[in-house]
């Protein structure tokens, strides 16, 4: 079952256009949304949340087309946006009182369990919290009403590795239920290598890659060679390339087959960072 269905979705601004986007997201997966700043990730998220309106296209959430006036149960969605914030005069105790009056299924016990687990003081104002503490509070609040879909825009940005690991553990714990789905937009692609089931790569308003994370890691690679070796490569094997000071780095697919074809040449595993750089900045043969 698809929890999200997007068809021919477009949004146009003076200097930027998103789409057309076609994307289906099944329940039970963590979707990693990657791309440069300004590529369209946040625009897509705001369209999904009905914060902005599309110029064209269809969006279905939970099989409900809210662009056609069908109501979507907002209690089924948890959200953490990059520019989201709570008033800093509030305490976590205040947030509990507010949220229990907003969500009928607000889970006070789960909320306070997470506060204790992540050492967040209940009675101190948010202005006394570090950036990592504030982000953990936002995430805890977003999942304490038991949403089915969690949408996160840069939830680990600016956090140190220890706090990022704690945040990722929250997501993995949330995914213990097969009914749950996460859309995670981030520039820290190493986080996605550890948790994402699927990667959706947006560049200049277009989806340029949509595949299982395991398929990407197994199939793509970087072939490193001299200029003489580069000239001998089959052009059909070259997706993108960069000419560095001492060698060529070539983005290839089907790396296991090409290891046999180009014996003696180095073909390294690829990271999502390297994949992004080569796909965006690399030259075409």
DSSP secondary structure string, 127-154? GGS-HHHHHHHHHHHHHTT--SEEEEES
Check pLDDT > 70 for residue 31: yes
Check pLDDT > 80 for residue 197: yes
Read off the pLDDT of residues 271-281 as tens digits, 9 standing for 90 and up.
999 999 999 98
Task: Write down the pLDDT at residue 83.
Answer: 63
Check pLDDT > 80 for residue 104: yes
Are residues 25 and 2 in contact, defined by beta-carbon separation less than 8 angstroms? yes
Whole-number Å distance between alpha carbons of 50 and 20: 17
Residues 6+ positions from 119 with CB-CB distance below 8 Å: none
Read off the pLDDT of residues 219-234 as tens digits, 9 standing for 90 and up.
999 999 888 888 889 9
Residues 6+ positions from 11 with CB-CB distance below 8 Å: 17, 18, 19, 43, 47, 52, 54, 55
Task: Write down the pLDDT at residue 228.
Answer: 86
Are residues 106 and 144 in contact, defined by beta-carbon separation less than 8 angstroms? yes
As given in the structure block, the two tokens for residue 139 are 């995430």
User: For residue 217, what are the CA distances in angstroms to 10, 169, 196?
Assistant: 30, 22, 12
Check pLDDT > 80 for residue 73: no
* Whole-number average pLDDT of the chain: 88
Report the percentage of the chain scoring pLDDT > 90. 42
Out of 35-39, 44-48, 67-71, 184-188, pick the least confident: 67-71
Sheet holding 240-243, edge to edge: 240-243, 248-252, 221-225, 266-269
Check pLDDT > 80 for residue 147: yes
Beta-bridge mates of residue 34: 201
Average pLDDT over residues 166-184: 87
Are residues 34 and 276 in contact, defined by beta-carbon separation less than 8 angstroms? yes
Dihedral angle sign, alpha carbons of residues 125, 128, 129, 131: positive
- The highest-confidence range among 37-41, 42-46, 61-65, by mean pLDDT, is 42-46
Residues 6+ positions from 82 with CB-CB distance below 8 Å: 42, 153, 154, 157
Residues 6+ positions from 127 with CB-CB distance below 8 Å: 88, 89
User: Quick check: helix, strand or coil at residue 199?
Assistant: strand
Q: How far apart are the first and last CA of the chain?
A: 40
Domains with residue ranges and CATH for the chain: 2-216 (3.40.50.300), 220-281 (no CATH)
């Amino acid at each position: 079952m698809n929890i999200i269905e997007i068809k021919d979705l477009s949004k146009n601004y003076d200097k930027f256009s998103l789409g057309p986007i076609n994307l289906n997201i099944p329940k039970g997966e963590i979707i990693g949304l990657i791309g440069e700043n300004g590529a369209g990730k946040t625009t897509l998220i705001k369209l999904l949340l009905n914060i902005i309106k599309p110029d064209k296209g269809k969006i279905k959430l939970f099989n409900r087309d809210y662009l056609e006036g069908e109501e979507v149960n907002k209690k089924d969605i948890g959200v953490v946006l990059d520019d989201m914030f709570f008033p800093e005069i509030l305490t976590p105790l205040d947030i509990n009182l507010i949220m229990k009056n907003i969500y009928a299924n607000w889970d006070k016990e789960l909320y306070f369990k997470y506060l204790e687990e992540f050492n967040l003081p209940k009675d101190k104002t948010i202005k006394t919290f570090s950036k990592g503490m504030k982000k953990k509070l936002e995430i805890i609040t977003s999942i304490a009403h038991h949403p089915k879909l969690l949408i996160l825009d840069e939830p680990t940005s600016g956090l140190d590795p220890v706090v990022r690991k704690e945040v990722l553990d929250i997501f993995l714990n949330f995914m213990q239920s097969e009914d749950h789905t996460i859309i995670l937009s981030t520039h820290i692609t190493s986080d996605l290598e550890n948790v994402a089931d699927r990667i959706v790569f947006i560049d200049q308003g277009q989806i340029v890659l949509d595949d299982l994370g395991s398929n990407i890691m197994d199939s793509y690679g970087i072939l490193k060679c001299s200029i003489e070796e580069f000239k001998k490569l089959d052009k059909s094997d070259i997706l993108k390339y960069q000419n560095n000071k001492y060698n060529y780095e070539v983005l290839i697919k089907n790396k296991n087959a090409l290891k046999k074809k180009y014996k003696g040449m180095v073909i390294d595993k690829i990271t999502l960072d390297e994949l992004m750089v080569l796909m965006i900045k690399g030259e075409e043969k």
